Structure 1
Amino acid sequence: MENYMEILGKRAKEAAREAARLGTEEKNRGLVTVAEELVAQTEWLLSENAKDLKEAEARGMKKSLIDRLCLTKERIEGMAEGLRQIAALEDPVGEVLRMWNRPNGLRIGQKRVPLGVVGIIYESRPNVTADAFGLCFKTGNAVILRGGSDAIHSNLAIVHVIKEGLRKERLSQDLILLVENTSRETVQQMMKLHGYIDVLIPRGGAGLIASVVENSTVPVIETGTGNCHIYVDESADLNMAVEIIENAKTQRMGVCNACESLVIHQRVASEVVPMVVQCLKQHQVEIRGDERACRITTEIAEASEEDWGTEYLDAVISMKIVDSLEEAIDHINRYNTGHSESIITKDYANALKFQDEIDAAAVYVNASTRFTDGFEFGFGAEIGISTQKLHARGPMGLTALTTTKYIIFGNGQVRP
């Protein structure tokens, strides 16, 4: 007897065949109509989101995670704008990447095609529901979404609105399917849907990602956690450094591209550390530092070994004082998660060395790590931020949701 997830898998597989046949204009019209529907249904979406927020507060969820769960009029408009931007982007499906001729007369090409059915398991981020639909739909894929139980009312509402937009354009409503059963059993079933789901993308905490990577029989694109660092070099503009640190840490603390760790050159530490402490204190951020950082001010707590590798997603940040750029690079590469790292420096050679030697998906010079985002990169939205090295790395836009196939033209050739 088919289980719940197998039934969804079959429906998605059939919808993916329809999606692959859609032209660019049809997809763009669908995206714009869904965007309009999201805006039109803002009040209802907010009322459904309020149910999730009320339950989260009753369970004592920390404020930074409630912020990730929260929808506002501005965030719903941002979801709609993301869909409009995706509609405005060039359609990668059907692009012929290259063609070449063989001595035997065969003409061989490589062409972009949809992946098929994309499965996404994610936590506490209802905006992911709209972003994932938009990117998958534009690339001719169907999508199966399994959000967390803490966002179930929000996700059900968003999917309902998206389906209404698809209905208005006479498109299959199975192009987006939400796993409404939030039990752990359905997650296990989803991870075993080899043959129905072509790729599985987990978005969430380290535990979720590790579980999917270890247990899935479906190919996985790993979207890692974000222990993001900012290194203040000895030549840094210190006012710029403080401003960037404030933005990277405090603009939104519960997101994966927020700064969690500071590394500071000892030659500027005595001057910049008090500036950073004063700034972050205004945001009630606790700083946990090494012995040298603690000697500069008593307002820094002593860090443990665990702190260097922790993604806090909260009002906490670690601080390490180093003697050289090389030591900073070694420290960051040891403890980072391959997400986003930044150097604040006036030294061009140091900037290039940092970018060359740091092992991460995004490496910045004199800018906040908060820019590691599909919207900010001009992708319209993102399906996730991949920290692995195969298939995709960094913010995953449209091309990351395609694969390629070879197309071969002949005129009667047979292999001797």
Structure 2
Amino acid sequence: MSKLPNITTSIFTVMSKMAAEHNAINLSQGFPNFPVDEKLTEIVARLAKEDIHQYTPMAGYPPLMTKIANLVNRSYQRNIEPETELLVTTGATQGIFTTIQALVENQDEVIVLDPSYDCYEAPILLCNAKAIRVALNDDYTANWENIEAACTSKTKMIIINNPHNPTGKILNESDIEALENLLEKFPEIILLSDEVYEYITFEEKHISVHTRPQLRNRAVVISSFGKTFHITGWKIGYVVAPEQLMKEIKKVHQFLVFSVNSLAQAAISEYLDSVSIDEISIFFQQKRDYFRELLSKSRFELIPCEGTYFQVVSYKAISDENDVDFCKRLITEHGVAAIPISNFYENGKDLHLIRFCFAKDNATLEEAARRLCNV
């Protein structure tokens, strides 16, 4: 008897496997293919010879926790107490899983906004709780009337993802105000804010829950060094939450992971002294703009991208196939892998949209675009 009978192999695994089998350019999974900053690799090489290979304290390497608190303060003018309001995790996914396991109970309901990243539902189901999937509008703006209508006395949590994967949308001021008004009407609901792409925004910065006192006092905020420093394989993230919520989250964390990779924590702690966070969004905006320029002569329609390193495109002018079949044919006939957006919906809603990852070196983007312009 399966505890997750309807959970299958993720679409990311499927498309990456197909890409490898057909020697296609993989723009499906969200990982960069360019080198990590040499400053960081040099720090790792030096620290690897030092006494940094045993368990760190359960909540995190103390110098890193201080640096994270300083980063949150510098970025959002929020003061957090490292000992009671911060937890270093084995990636953002573990932070999300641990938070849901700690705070969601049997028969609770959790509102998830579709299209949604695929790591939210499984931990909800493992709590014997129910994911209530509420679709965004077709332009990927939030329909707050529908979201409020989905809230009941059973609603324990609302999950938002800002900047949003897969769509690249960010919530604007009116969205945040609507969220504040909603949570004021339902004072028992906890907010889980997945902000892993917080430092990859473009014309407008995202409005973090960290900056909103009305929200942050009942919110868990998820961040990712893997996304910020394009070191996804390191699996290092962190969680910020008020003390009363963090106590429960730590109870699960200590038996799920106990402590996170010591060398990685120490290296990031030192690296934070020498890296400019502000340059990250500039770097990725150049990638976005270059990729969009390369695709401008294609038959794909480019959807606005406000943040993340994903570009959603419509292929309506090319084919009326469903998006899964189109993505498979894109691999087999044209040698480029993408992700179908329908997989991010509970009901498989298909708007003939697919997602490319542009966190690649220019040569990869150029060759991918050359192939896509021939579709």
Q: Which has the higher contact order (CA 8 A, sep 6+)?
A: 2
What's the TM-score, normalizing by structure 1? 0.25
Q: Which is greater in Rg?
A: 1
